[in-house]
Structure 1
Amino acid sequence: MNITAFMNLMVILVPFLLITAVFTRMTILELNLPPASSSSNETKQELQLEVTIRKDALEVGDRHSGLIKRIDNVKGYDYKTLSEVMKQIKSRFPDKLNATILSEPDTSYDVLVQVMDAVRVAEIVQAGSVTRAELFPDVSIGDAPVHGKEKSP
């Protein structure tokens, strides 16, 4: 049996397929659960940054002092404004590394990833080049508290 023609085909085909193959790169992001409750030795002065994803807005706040900024959802979430708010908070608390993202149950995966990216890093343009600055890289994810519903007796 003459397999010379088949071997010639394989010698050409295998390198061609290896060169044109697209190799996927998977990125894994380590996430933490938010703490169950505040410890008694924790100071009330420390910022406990929370970003809450609601249907109608993104709410940036401190667990102890309340709402810092509400970014309304007009025609989609405004991730640029969220990133600017995160930069302002980082400038006031440069040593702070963790943040908690709280989302409602029907939040889409894409929205959650976009918010996580805006909280973790910011793109800064310097001298015509874009650099990435670290904001709050230690991200925890949890469920958002029920908004606007009060229990009646």
Structure 2
Amino acid sequence: MTPRVLVLNGPNLNLLGRRRPEIYGARTLADIEAACRARAQALGLALDFAQSNAEHELIDRIHAARETAQAIVINPAAYTHTSIAILDALETFEGPVVEVHLSNIHKREPFRHRSYVSLRADAVIAGCGAQGYELALERVAALLRG
């Protein structure tokens, strides 16, 4: 069976390439999805890719992943710093979780230094831009191989 990975993206990431490219880069979310699909295929992984601006939709996707995915890569965006509900949902997921941030959240405003998601994440990748997603898939593949 091919391991399935959910790549989940939080609020405002649908605006990548147009919103603050000096921080988040010029690549769109569609560009990132295409790169993730190519990298996942090379790693022998199946991929589900989703984005929502709504916290409850992200939580619903995490809950569904308990039955459909072996790992989660998540860029919770602003919910990183505020959502105990997303943390609680991730804690119900038994597979590896890798947290991704396009920017280095530790070099930004102090409120961005705290991540609730990191309390569950098996790895955190920050500051690598869009490449961070591909690095996250590589880490997931390694974790799934044991």
TM-score w.r.t. the length of structure 2 is: 0.36
Q: Decide which structure has the larger Cα Rg and report it.
A: 1
More strand by share: 1
Q: Could you say which structure has the higher helix fraction?
A: 2
